[in-house]
Structure 1
C-alpha cells in the first residue's frame, strides 16, 4: 500500500534523523551523507510529494521505468541517479538525463558510456564502479580482485568518464551488524585503489533501508533508501 503524503513526511523525517545520528556517531558532520530515494515501481505522484517535502534525488533501477518518470516529472528539480544493472543498448537514453551512474561493472559498458558521453559533448560524466563484495553469483558488479583492472581500463579508455568512487549491494543479513564487514571491505578497497592509482575516489554508495546506519558508520557518502521512505514494494 502506498503511503499518504503525511506518512511519507514522517518516514522521510525519521530517515533524515537516523542519518544525522549515524553521522555524528561516526564522528562525521551531521550532513555527511547524500540520501538517494529508491523509487523502483513507485508511481510518479509519490516522487512529486517527496520532492515537495525536500527529497529530490531519486535512484532508478530500470531504464524504461526511469524514462517514463523522467518525462512525467520534468517540471521538478530532480537529480536522477541510475543504480541498477545497465544494458549497453540503454546507455544512449540515459547519459544526458542522469547525474550519476552507480553501476559500471564491465569494459563493454565503459566503452558504450564513453562513446555516448563524448557524442553528447559532455566533458566529464560521473560514474561509480559497482563491486560485488559478497561474491554473489546473482548480483552484478566486478569482483574486488578485478576492480583495479576495471579502474585502469576506465582511466585509459574513457577520458570523458569521471570515476567518483565505488558502489556495492552486499549480501542480505537479518542482523544488519553482520553486513558491516562488507561495507568495511568496500571502504578498504577504495583506500587501496586511491593509493595504487594516486587519485581521489570520494564516494562510497552503500547502505539501504535495512542497514544504512551501519554503512554510514563504515564511511558511506551515499545511501540508497527505498522501503523506509516509500513503503514496501508492491
Structure 2
C-alpha cells in the first residue's frame, strides 16, 4: 500500500504540473480547474489514497462499480461524477449517489433522472453531453451525446425539470481529430447555452492526453484517469 501511495502521489504531482503549465499558457488560474480522478477498474483503496492526497472529485463510468465505491468511501467528503453512458434502468441507482451526471444526452434520460432525483430527495447537477463527431441530424455517434443543434432544447428541458440543475456541457474529443478544434466547437456550444442559462458555466473536457488543448478552450473540469492511476486492465464481464 505504501508503494501504491507513492506512485499515486508522484502521478498526481505530474498531473498538477501539467495542469499548471496549461493554465499559465492559457492565461488562466489553476483555481478555475476542477480535477476529476477517473477511477474506473481501480479499487476503492485507490480512491481512499487519492482522497488522502487531496483529491476530492471522483469520476466513474459504470453504475455497478460506482455505486459500490461510493458506498465504501462514504464519509470522505467526495464529490462523485458519473461520466459514462447512462441507461434509464440505472438512473435510480445513479441518482442516489452522483452529485453530477456528465452524460445527459436525450429527453427520456432527463425525465427519468429528474423523477429519481426527486424520489431520493436530491438535486443532481447535469451536463449536456455534446457529440462533437456527429453529422448534422444524426445525433450522437458512437460514444453518445446530443448533436450540437439539439443541445439548446435539451438544456432548456433540464433547466425546468424538478430535481435537476443545469450546470453546463461535456464532450470527448473525437478520435483522430485535433483536440483543439474539437474543444473550440464545444466552447461555442457552451457559450450558446450560457446565453440562455448564465449559471451553466461548466465545460467538462480534456482527459489524460489533451489537457493543454482543453484548458486553452475554457475547460473547467478535467477527467483524468490513465495519467493518475496507470494503464487500465481490460474490463471482463
TM-score (norm 2): 0.90
> Residues 31-180 of structure 1: matches in 2 within 5 Å?
31-122=31-122, 124-135=123-134, 137-156=141-160, 158-173=161-176, 178-180=178-180
| Secondary structure, counterpart of 2:40 in structure 1 | coil
Task: Give the 3 Å change call, closer, same or farther, for CA 68–228 of structure 1 in structure 2.
Answer: same
Quick one: structure 1 residues 28 and 148, their matched pair in 2 at CA, closer, same or farther if it must change by over 3 Å?
same
The secondary structure found in structure 2 opposite 1:142 is coil
Q: Distance in 2 between matches of 1:206 and 1:91?
A: 23
Distance in 2 (CA, whole Å) between partners of 1:86 and 1:198 is 24
For the 8 Å contact 1:85–1:103, the answer to whether it is kept is: yes
Match of 1:233 in 2: 232
Structure 1 CA distance, aligned partners of 2:164 and 2:99? 12
Q: Please report how far the alpha carbon of residue 30 of structure 1 lies from its aligned counterpart in structure 2 after TM superposition.
A: 2.4
Equivalent pair of 1:126/1:164 in contact (CA under 8 Å): yes
Deviation track 1:175-213 (CA, whole Å, cap 9, x = no partner) reads x8x210110101111112222x25332100000001012
> Deviations for 1:44-82, whole angstroms, at most 9, x for unmatched residues?
111111111111311000000111112222242221110
Write the distance in 2 (CA, Å) between the matches of 1:193 and 1:54.
32
* Partners of 1:22 and 1:216 within 8 A in 2: yes
After superposition, what is the alpha-carbon deviation per residue over 1:200-229, rounded to whole angstroms, capped at 9, x for unaligned?
Answer: 321000000010121011100000000000
1:29 and 2:29 correspond: yes
- Let me know the Cα RMSD of the aligned residues: 1.6
Question: Aligned pair count?
Answer: 226
Separation in structure 2 between the aligned mates of residue 77 and residue 19 of structure 1, nearest angstrom: 23
